[in-house]
Amino acid sequence: MARWKPDLREAEATPEALYLRRREFLRLGAAGAVGTAIGAVPLPALAGPDDPAGEVLPVSRKVDMAGGEKATTWKSVTTYNNFYEFGTDKSDPAERAGSLRPRPWTLAVDGEVKRPLALHVEDILKLAPLEERIYRHRCVEAWSMVVPWVGFPLAELVKRVEPTSRARYVVFQTLLDPAQMPGQRSRVLDWPYTEALRMDEAMNPLTLLTVGLYGRVLPNQNGAPLRVVIPWKYGFKGAKSIARMRFVETQPRTSWAILAPSEYGFYGNVNPAVDHPRWSQAKERRLGEFFRRDTLPFNGYGAEVAGLYAGLDPRKLY
């Protein structure tokens, strides 16, 4: 009897991540269809503590940069997350991130700099006064939240290492340790998770090197002990649990752009006029709310950042 041979080569198979995201998209799509019919479907949040928990951080001042919008609850912010190092479901990070050891932790800063550094978290906390900044936060999957992040402008650290004239991009790499991050045992992404910014984006005052939220240290599921927040970009640009920052001359390849370049570009700017290939970006649903709202260009921070992209075609450089 002839031996059976598959008619689909492995190279032609749908990547696991796209398959998993398709399952999630179908669930959200079904919810969206119901929402169209009845006018209201809230995004879920897991059971969890209502009040902020963890070590209190010394915050020097609080700045509302979300137009007076009410902050999303601690429960929702800490139980509904994308952090594939711990799994692909939104509940996985909160359930599985206990294996991460955020202390001790060292951040390596190297590449095209005059003063490469290896900084412990305790050293980073002393680089600049900590601020609590309330930012709108937008995910590429068309959900959003308002988060009181705690940190200081990334520019404060960049200036300390004195980038050379060849430094045009900053690359962020998440910790690579499958023992602490069991999701890295899967092939859902090319590990370690890598994201990057242009130098002018990194130096923008809105770009926050983040160590906490709601006045407390970052929970593991939210990127402890160190993440970057860029409020005018989709959430996938904000690398979590950063172990290395590297300054380079040429535009680097980033994790999601490697996996699905037609869906995730290098810039990742929030733009309601440029749809994701599988859904519209014109509307979004805020966690805890029933009705969809209009997505704002640059997530509402156009006055501060639109000039960075003058002359670029957002449909090609998305």
Write the DSSP symbol of residue 72. P
- Average pLDDT over all residues of the chain: 88
Q: Which residue would you say has higher pLDDT here, 22 or 312?
A: 312
Burial 291-300 (b: 16+ CB within 10 A, else e): ebeebbbbbb
Q: How confident is the model at residue 41 (pLDDT cuts 50, 70, 90)?
A: very low
In a domain, 317, yes or no: no
Any domain includes 315? no
Q: Which amino acid is at 136?
A: R
**Per-residue confidence (pLDDT) for residue 14, from 0 to 100:** 38
Is residue 269 included in any domain, yes or no?
Answer: yes
**pLDDT confidence bin for 45, thresholds 50/70/90:** very low
184 falls within a domain: yes
Residue 186 lies in a domain: yes
Q: What whole-number distance in Å separates Cα of residue 250 and Cα of residue 301?
A: 27
In a domain, 5, yes or no: no
- Quick one: pLDDT band at residue 12, thresholds 50, 70, 90? very low
Which pLDDT does position 2 carry in this prediction? 39
In a domain, 88, yes or no: yes
From the DSSP assignment, how many helices (H) and strands (E) are in the chain?
A: 8, 13
| Cβ proximity of 173 and 194 under 8 Å | yes
Q: Output the domain CATH number for residue 177.
A: 3.90.420.10
Residue 117 lies in a domain: yes
Residue 316: predicted pLDDT: 83
Chain segment 146-204, per-residue pLDDT in tens: 999 999 999 999 999 999 999 999 999 999 999 999 999 999 999 999 999 999 999 99
Sheet containing strand 106-111, edge to edge, reads: 117-120, 106-111, 242-248, 169-174, 194-198
Rounded to two decimals, the pTM is 0.85
Confidence of residue 79 (pLDDT cuts 50, 70, 90): very high
Number of domains making up the chain: 1
- Which structural domain, as residue segments, surrounds residue 282? 11-309
Specify the pLDDT at position 48.
57
Q: Does pLDDT of 282 surpass 50?
A: yes
Whole-number pLDDT of residue 34? 34
Distances (CA, A) of 300 to 222, 254, 296: 23, 25, 5
**pLDDT tens digits, 60-71:** 999 999 999 999
Over 70: is that where the pLDDT of 31 sits?
no
Q: How far apart are the first and last CA of the chain?
A: 53
